[in-house]
Amino acid sequence: MPAPVESLFEALHRTRRGSTNFFAAREQVEQWTALGLLSWVETKDCLLIFRRSRDLHHVCHVASSADALTDALASSTLPKGPLVSDLVGRENDLAPMTSAYQTAGFRKHTALIRMVRMVDDSLPCQEHSDVAFAGPSDIADIRAFLLKLLDRFADQIPEEDELRSAAARQNILIVRRHRELGGVLVFDRTGLSTTLRYWYVHPEFRSEGIGARLINVFFRLSRGSRRIVLWVVQDNTASVEKYRHYGFQKELLMDQIMTRKNTIEEVLKELRPEFDFTASDDFIGDGMLDSHDVVTLVSDLDRIYGISISGIDIVPEHFQNIAAIEQLIRKYAAEP
Amino acid sequence: MNFVFHHRRISGILAIVPANERSFVDEMANFNFPVARSLKLKQVMGYDKHRLVDGPVCASDLACFGFEHLFENGLLHPGEIDALYVVTQSPDYFMPPTSSVIQGRLGLKQDMFCLDINQGCAGFLIGLYQAFLLLDQPSVRKVALVNVDVMSRKVSTKDRNSYPLIGDACAITIVERSADPSPIHANLKMDGTRREALMIPAGGFRLPSSPATAVLEDDGENNFRAKDHLRMDGSSVFNFVQVEIPPLIQDLLKTAHATTEQVDYFLFHQPNRFMLQKLAEAMKVPFEKMPSNIGEHYGNSSGVTIPIAIAHNLRERLGKGTIQACLAGFGVGLTWASMLMPLGPLEFCDLVDFTLNKDQEELECMNLKSN
């Protein structure tokens, strides 16, 4: 059972904010708590907050210092399964936090940079009749659409309730193509800023100008703000260029995404705790994995890494040792 | 090889399953494996309940029970059966054929064609091909295709590779001519070089059963079975299915100028949930179009699983309407086959529980003694 939300706010209040990546608004925290998604651990100088999202947990911290964070990450019991943490700040300032997470077994997954555009007369501003505000009946489709397209580690995948309140605030634009969603744009307003959260077009309809129409309507709706901000994958030069084209400029702020996935050794150990998998180069030949274990392992790997290993690849050679399994997972584009 | 048939239809399906239901959780103690591992396997493979004959029930017992159900309910008349094809790997005897046993027990007419076919998991399709071919003869109006197996009697209870998934069952499928001229496309491949992937090594003339063939042996993975028992090379069979079936279906649809979207249901043989879901993923077919729930309800009854999948999942719908069905069977031989056909409306589509009729059993035993 999650502890009452008030005790979390008290713990947040108690902990000195020397280093943190927890910036959620009170309303958001209340929503997550109500859904039973939050849990936390408090040490003397650090509060670790875990938010469950599908089969992974987002890790946030409020710590008096990077050293306190390192100690807390090392001494606390972290949730089972894959973990992800967003570290936000200027690139140079992030180093101590990044290394604290690295000490606890996290690795750099990807980095996002912030881009900003001031709202002025040069902002395109058009109406398009096929761009509509999302209604309650669109929510399930939108979430399924985002789940398919988003990187589950790099993107904060919104819960249905979050989408529902965003739709009620008229912060979700959609274009429908027959019964399918052709494109979705989700944004947030805070004070004088508007944040472009997601802007995606269905791969099948990418040549139809849906993206341009969505962003034009979004620009029109942003007129009341002073500036528009967004986050984009640092290495995604095509997207960075597209935003430049629309007048966005890079800022110095960065979101370093850290992940800790289960190691293959841990997955194997859970399956057959009686064996030392680092000591063998031939799990099948040494009798450590039988054909049924391989099936169970495939189902575990599919779930943990968000991949679907093809039936054709379920042959003993691919499960002989850790290197072979790593190679198999890499083939499906997930870094083990 | 490809086949095309015209003016053929399935007019009724009755599946017969033993009333005796066993559960994987209750049987886990038989296997030499930690409970946690077995439970995980249950989740992945969909092992749950399965139906097994209770006692010395034979193929003809299940089939006769089904025919009598049809006769009593006015769904079929004995005199209408012009041919009886029995597809089984677990015949009552080496000789006579099980089809002759059934014909005799039911008192069917002499003016008919009885034939046993030794086939397994592709046996529903093999049986349909044979029935379709025989219907070229004007004297044949109705073929009763029986798929039946009581393989639980040939599986070691200490074999986790086979026992949790095995099921006993029978299906009676009535095949007739139809007015519909639209083609039914089908294909078939066989590879006898891989014949040992699924086999019962002892009990035939090559290796007759003896006290030595009844001795349980460890297969190296903590499964114990004798040469008299069914043995399945799980990894090879899994790989065979994943490699051969997607291109088989692709070829079938190409020949028929059809797309996967035009197929309402992919009614495939039902080995286990994992294998079927991996197939569906490879073929980019949504899981709801490819039922994979027969193993968990009844077990894998080789050639009977497709008619059971139809009766269990679609009996309401097929009473009234028609679906475009893609059938596929794959297994012993090795044999793999698929067919694209309109299915329904059916005159009957049902699933009944088999219970032992004491009189019948005694009659069969007496016949055996007097021989």
Could you tell me the residue ranges of all domains in chain B? Answer: 1-371
CB of A292 within 8 Å of a chain B CB? The answer is yes
Give the 3-state secondary structure of residue A239.
Answer: helix
Beta strand segments in A180-294, E: 180-190, 193-201, 227-233, 249-260
Same domain, yes or no: A158 and A127: yes
CB of B301 within 8 Å of a chain A CB? The answer is no
A67-120 tens-digit pLDDT? 999 999 888 888 877 899 999 998 888 999 999 998 887 888 889 999 999 998
Q: Is residue A257 part of a domain?
A: no
**Closest residue, chain A, to B244 (C-alpha):** A312
B367 pLDDT above the threshold of 60:
no
Q: Is residue A248 part of a domain?
A: no
Test A308 with B281 for CB contact under 8 angstroms: yes
- Residue showing tokens 């003339």: B205
B254-266 tens-digit pLDDT? 999 999 999 999 9
Test A295 with B40 for CB contact under 8 angstroms: no
CB of A291 within 8 Å of a chain B CB? The answer is yes
Q: Is residue A161 part of a domain?
A: yes
Q: Look up the CATH number of the domain holding residue A274.
A: 1.10.1200
In the prediction, which pLDDT does A335 show?
60
**Closest residue, chain A, to B272 (C-alpha):** A295
Give the 3-state secondary structure of residue A3.
Answer: coil
In the prediction, which pLDDT does B357 show?
66
Among the listed ranges A299-308, B41-50, B60-69, B223-232, which one has the minimum average pLDDT value? A299-308
B351 pLDDT above the threshold of 60:
yes
pTM of the model as a whole: 0.70
B207-217 tens-digit pLDDT? 999 999 999 99
Same domain, yes or no: A29 and A67: yes
For residue B184, name the pLDDT band (cuts at 50, 70, 90): very high
**Degrees to nearest 5, angle at CA B108 with B102 and B113:** 80
* Better-scored residue on pLDDT, A261 or B196: B196
Among the listed ranges A11-20, A119-128, A198-207, B64-73, which one has the minimum average pLDDT value? A119-128
CB of A287 within 8 Å of a chain B CB? The answer is yes
Q: How distant is the Cα of B75 from the closest Cα of chain A, in angstroms?
A: 42
Question: Least CB-CB distance to B44: which of A291, A299, A316?
Answer: A299
* Residue (of A97, A108, A92, A115) closest to A243 by Cα position: A115
Q: Is residue A237 part of a domain?
A: no
Among the listed ranges B30-44, B112-126, B228-242, B249-263, which one has the minimum average pLDDT value? B30-44
With a CB-CB cutoff of 8 Å, which residues 238-277 of chain A face chain B? Answer: 271-272
CATH of domain B1-371: 3.40.47.10
Is B289:B265 a contact under the CB 8 Å cutoff? yes
B54-110 tens-digit pLDDT? 989 999 999 999 999 999 999 999 999 999 999 999 999 999 999 999 999 999 999
**Degrees to nearest 5, angle at CA B177 with B174 and B179:** 130
Q: How distant is the Cα of A22 from the closest Cα of chain B, in angstroms?
A: 37
Same domain, yes or no: A150 and A171: yes
Q: What is the 3-state secondary structure (H, E, C) of A302-334?
A: HHHHCCCCCHHHCCHHHHCCHHHHHHHHHHCCC
Same domain, yes or no: A135 and A103: no
Among the listed ranges A21-25, A226-230, A311-315, which one has the minimum average pLDDT value? A21-25
In the prediction, which pLDDT does A206 show?
84
Q: CB-based burial of residue A176 (10 Å sphere; 0-12 exposed, 13-18 middle, 19+ buried)?
A: middle
Mutation to test the A interface, candidates B44, B231, B241, B272, most A Cβ within 10 Å: B44
CB of B250 within 8 Å of a chain A CB? The answer is no
Average pLDDT over residues B249-275: 95
List CB contacts (< 8 A) between A316 and chain B. 235
Question: Least CB-CB distance to B44: which of A287, A295, A315?
Answer: A295
CB of A293 within 8 Å of a chain B CB? The answer is yes
In the prediction, which pLDDT does A154 show?
76
> Tokens at residue A157, please?
């995948």
In the prediction, which pLDDT does A48 show?
95
Q: How distant is the Cα of A25 from the closest Cα of chain B, in angstroms?
A: 39
B20 pLDDT above the threshold of 70:
yes
List CB contacts (< 8 A) between B243 and chain A. 312
For residue B193, name the pLDDT band (cuts at 50, 70, 90): very high
Q: What is the 3-state secondary structure (H, E, C) of A75-99?
A: HCCCCCCCEEEEEEEEHHHHHHHHH
Virtual torsion, Cα A198, A204, A206, A212, nearest 10 deg: -50
Question: Least CB-CB distance to A292: which of B41, B275, B278?
Answer: B41
Question: Least CB-CB distance to A314: which of B221, B222, B238?
Answer: B238
Looking at A111, A141, A169, the residue that finishes a domain is: A111
- Residue showing tokens 């508007």: A194
Looking at A79, A111, A143, the residue that finishes a domain is: A111
| Highest mean predicted confidence (pLDDT) among A60-74, A314-328, B137-151 | B137-151
Q: Is residue A77 part of a domain?
A: yes
Question: Least CB-CB distance to B278: which of A290, A311, A315?
Answer: A311
Same domain, yes or no: A150 and A100: no
Q: Is residue A318 part of a domain?
A: yes
Q: Is residue A254 part of a domain?
A: no
In the prediction, which pLDDT does B164 show?
86
**Closest residue, chain A, to B274 (C-alpha):** A295
Q: How distant is the Cα of A2 from the closest Cα of chain B, in angstroms?
A: 28
Test A293 with B278 for CB contact under 8 angstroms: no
Count of Cβ atoms closer than 10 Å to residue A318 Cβ: 16
Give the 3-state secondary structure of residue B39.
Answer: helix
Q: Look up the CATH number of the domain holding residue A156.
A: 3.40.630.30
Same domain, yes or no: A130 and A34: no
CB of B28 within 8 Å of a chain A CB? The answer is no
Measured distance CA(B307)–CA(B316) in Å, rounded: 14
List CB contacts (< 8 A) between B37 and chain A. 271-272, 292-293, 296
* Residue (of B3, B147, B141, B40) closest to B82 by Cα position: B141
Element (H, E) at B123: helix B123-134
In the prediction, which pLDDT does B28 show?
81
Mutation to test the A interface, candidates B47, B163, B278, B285, most A Cβ within 10 Å: B278
> Tokens at residue A118, please?
């001031």
CB of B45 within 8 Å of a chain A CB? The answer is yes
Test A295 with B41 for CB contact under 8 angstroms: yes
Question: Least CB-CB distance to B282: which of A272, A292, A310?
Answer: A310
The domain of A278 spans 264-331
Q: How distant is the Cα of B200 from the closest Cα of chain A, in angstroms?
A: 20
| Number of continuous H segments (helices) and E segments (strands) in chain A | 11, 12
Test B41 with A294 for CB contact under 8 angstroms: no
Looking at A173, A197, A225, the residue that finishes a domain is: A225
Task: Please give the tally of structural domains in chain A.
Answer: 3
Same domain, yes or no: A143 and A91: no
Mutation to test the A interface, candidates B31, B218, B235, most A Cβ within 10 Å: B235
> Would the ipTM clear 0.85, i.e. be above it?
no
pLDDT mean across residues, chain A: 88
B113 pLDDT above the threshold of 90:
yes
Q: Is residue A235 part of a domain?
A: no
Question: Least CB-CB distance to B235: which of A271, A291, A308?
Answer: A291
